[in-house]
């Protein structure tokens, strides 16, 4: 499969993840009388991930997340030469999703970006007021576990047909745990898309939602590849 087609698949997949997940948060989470709340938003992110695993997994691997690409590259499951093109495609897809969501959301009278536009944050901009350290630790650990789930469920020893279910439900669980802490990133492209339009504080705090997920993803790649992978046997 040409790299250009893989990158296009990553662009589309990340677009869908950010539009579906952040769209649920911006448009539905607190909708009068019918709000889906944290539970609904968590499932929205999980469902977008699950659907893309089956839609584009056979094309690009359905990383749709720079932290996943980095984690897989560290564990030598993904060619290092493809890393930058994948990340560029993922971030571009996330930003386009942010733009589409902004056009939709701003079509309602009284719309304002003051609520954060589903951006991730720490301190005063954490949904629950959690500190920078707490948010950093949360993002590292949650991303580590997400990439571990991806490694394990796509291992050749695992039942391959169920990988998408495990990955999608894993992302759902991660959101159920961490939405109150950071609004949940575990994905720099997901954080970048809304932040570009929220501006100000969201851009200022965006660094955390690149650094922490990339560390978590890289650590998972190291741990799984060195400690949990079955050595190849000869003969």
Residue 43 CA to residue 109 CA, distance in Å, equals: 27
The span from the CA of 197 to the CA of 182, in Å, is 18
pTM for the structure as a whole: 0.94
Beta-carbon contacts of residue 168 (< 8 Å; ≥ 6 apart): 46, 47, 49, 50, 51, 53
- Amino acid 235: pLDDT: 41
Q: CB-based contacts of 200: which residues, under 8 Å, 6+ apart? A: none
CB-CB contact of 96 with 14 (8 Å): no
Q: What is the CA radius of gyration of the chain?
A: 17
Closest Cα to residue 140, out of 174, 181, 186, 183?
A: 186
What was the pLDDT predicted at 171? Answer: 98
pLDDT value of position 134: 98
* Residue 28 confidence (pLDDT): 85
- Looking at domain 3-109+117-228, its CATH class is mainly alpha
Q: Write out the DSSP string of 79-140.
A: -GGGHHHHHHHHHHHHHHHHHHHHHHHTTSTT--GGG-TT----GGGSTT---HHHHHHHHH
Q: What dihedral angle (degrees, nearest 10) is formed by the CA atoms of 70, 46, 23, 6?
A: 40
Planar angle of CA 63, 200, 120, nearest 5 degrees: 35
Q: What pLDDT, on the 0 to 100 scale, is given for residue 168? A: 97
**Predicted confidence pLDDT, tens digits, the chain (235 residues):** 899 999 999 999 999 999 999 999 999 876 666 678 899 999 999 999 999 999 999 999 999 999 999 999 999 999 999 999 999 999 999 999 999 999 999 998 888 898 889 999 999 999 999 999 999 999 999 999 999 999 999 999 888 889 999 999 999 999 999 999 999 999 999 999 999 999 899 999 999 999 999 999 999 999 999 999 876 554 4
Residue-range domain boundaries for the chain: 3-109+117-228
Q: Which tokens hold the place of 56?
A: 């584009």
pLDDT of residue 159: 86
């Amino acid at each position: 499969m040409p790299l250009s087609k893989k990158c296009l698949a990553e662009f589309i997949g990340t677009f869908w993840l950010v539009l579906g997940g952040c769209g649920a948060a911006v448009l539905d989470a607190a909708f009068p009388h019918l709000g889906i709340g944290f539970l609904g938003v968590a499932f929205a992110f999980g469902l977008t991930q699950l659907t893309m695993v089956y839609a584009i997994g056979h094309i690009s691997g359905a990383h749709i997340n720079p932290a996943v690409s980095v984690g897989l590259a560290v564990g030598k499951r993904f060619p290092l030469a493809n890393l930058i093109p994948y990340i560029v495609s993922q971030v571009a897809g996330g930003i386009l999703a942010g733009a589409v969501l902004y056009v939709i959301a701003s079509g309602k009278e009284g719309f304002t970006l003051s609520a954060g536009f589903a951006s991730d944050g720490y301190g005063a901009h954490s949904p629950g007021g959690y500190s920078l350290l707490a948010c950093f630790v949360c993002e590292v650990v949650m991303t580590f576990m997400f990439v571990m789930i991806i490694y394990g469920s796509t291992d050749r020893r695992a039942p391959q047909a169920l990988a998408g279910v495990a990955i999608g439900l894993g992302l759902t669980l991660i959101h159920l745990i961490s939405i109150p802490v950071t609004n949940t990133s575990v994905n720099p492209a997901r954080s970048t898309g809304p932040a570009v339009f929220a501006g100000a504080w969201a851009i200022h705090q965006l660094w955390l939602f690149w650094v922490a997920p990339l560390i978590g993803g890289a650590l998972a790649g190291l741990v799984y590849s060195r400690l949990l992978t079955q050595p190849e046997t000869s003969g």
